[in-house]
Amino acid sequence: MKGTRAAIRYAKAVLAHAKEQQALDVVNQDMKSISATLNGNTDLQHVLQSPVIKLSNKKAVLKEVFSSVNTTTEGLINLLVENNRIDLLGAIAEKYGELYDALKGIHKATVTTAVPLSGELEKKVLLKVEELTGGTAQLENKIDPTIIGGFILRVGDLQYNASVANQLNNLKRDLVNNSYVAQ
């Protein structure tokens, strides 16, 4: 992704400033709002990325769309406009959310299943993830019918693949490897 390193640097700076101003939670809500707005509005994305539209016009649009944000968030928007980096706003908002969650000890877990998890099973998985990570967790359930059954659990950099498709692939690989040995 273009500008990811810059987005991380800006997000870290905003997080530090928000912590200093004791506005971590408010700025986090602003960043969620910015991320949701940008992801849901392709026209706004095009405006921010357009080299034809003047920076002053971009700033005016953003002030109108995000009129009720915290002064820290407003300062970020102004800084990005001044540095001609406003196209990074969405990436910065996402990175800020990740840094905020890490600071608060919230772990994001993704469980991929062939069918949606029931409420009871989702609670069990969430409790297990919280037990493994030692902190609070948020669970996202992705549906992928190609895994046939079972599940794939991802928490941070860790992945546990207990899908039927993975087990079939392992069995196939073992059979192919053993057939060459037997000959």
Domain limits at 38?
4-102
Q: Which of 44, 70, 102 is the last residue of a domain?
A: 102
d(CA 133, CA 128): 9
Residues 98 and 114 in one domain: no
Residues 10 and 95 in one domain: yes
Question: What is the tally of structural domains in the chain?
Answer: 2
Per-residue pLDDT tens digits for 90-119: 999 999 998 999 899 888 899 999 999 999
Q: Which of 71, 102, 133 is the last residue of a domain?
A: 102
Amino acid at 25: D
Around Cβ 118, how many Cβ atoms within 10 Å? 9
Per-residue pLDDT tens digits for 129-164: 888 888 888 899 999 999 999 899 998 788 999 899
Amino acid at 82: E
Output DSSP code: residue 114.
Answer: S
In the predicted model, what is the mean pLDDT of residues 41-60? 90
21: domain CATH number is 1.10.520.20
Residues 83 and 13 in one domain: yes
